Chains A and B, each alone.
Chain A
Amino acid sequence: DGGITQSPKYLFRKEGQNVTLSCEQNLNHDAMYWYRQDPGQGLRLIYYSQIVNDFQKGDIAEGYSVSREKKESFPLTVTSAQKNPTAFYLCASKGSSGVGMNTEAFFGQGTRLTVV
């Protein structure tokens, strides 16, 4: 099946630890995105990548890092510098094509990160 796979579904982190969230897609999409979801705040953009080996900061990039070494993969690392990392993290991807085509983004099932 084609789609976006996020793992793990639940993740627990101790204070001061770095953790990496996985996002893999087999849709052959060029663009990938990471959003953070908190109750009542909607989705906020952390990082996005439009092509392999390139990525841009979103609105809340501080305390996070990403890499895009392969088209299929866009892992997100939550570093110890992120002061309030407990949230639901969503990965998305989007294909590139002509006007009106491949316009919507497709989302994974999310990873819920909790700091313990």
Chain B
Amino acid sequence: AQSVAQPEDQVNVAEGNPLTVKCTYSVSGNPYLFWYVQYPNRGLQFLLKYITGDNLVKGSYGFEAEFNKSQTSFHLKKPSALVSDSALYFCAVRDPPGGNTPLVFGKGTRLSVIA
């Protein structure tokens, strides 16, 4: 069965510094991978996805993620963090990738950007 691991419950970074939120996955085939962000008492907002092709994918709000098949990772990155990036971030996988199979989510990583 597919699974996603987010090894850090909390990530703290100073405003203006680069940020990384880690995600590793375990699937039987070639997955679709996703990152979502959640602000307090709100639903999840889609940030970006990896389907196929270029391993570096760019998404909303200046975020990007790098797909690494050999390390089974899909880390979320941003070159310069903003205080407004503080939120809860979820990595998710769909395997098999096609169709309407439900997403499987990691437990989330809380990002705190300090001014």
A interface vs B, CB < 8 Å?
A: 4, 6, 30-31, 33, 35, 40-43, 45, 48, 50, 58, 88, 90, 92, 94, 96, 99-100, 103-110, 112
Contacts and interface: CB of A to CB of B under 8 A. Distances in A.
Contact of B41 (A92, A94, A100, A112): A112
Given A90-B43, A99-B98, 10 more contacts: A6-B43, A40-B9, A45-B104, A92-B44, A94-B100, A96-B99, A103-B51, A104-B34, A107-B36, A110-B41
B94 A33 contact: no
B43 A43 contact: no
A110 B43 contact: yes
Contact of B32 (A30, A43, A103): A103
Q: Is the interface of A mostly helix, strand, loop or mixed?
A: strand
A42 B105 contact: yes
Q: Is the interface of B mostly helix, strand, loop or mixed?
A: loop
A45 B105 CA distance: 9
Contacts of A92: 44, 103
A89 B44 CA distance: 11
Given A40-B107, A42-B90, A107 B32 contact: no
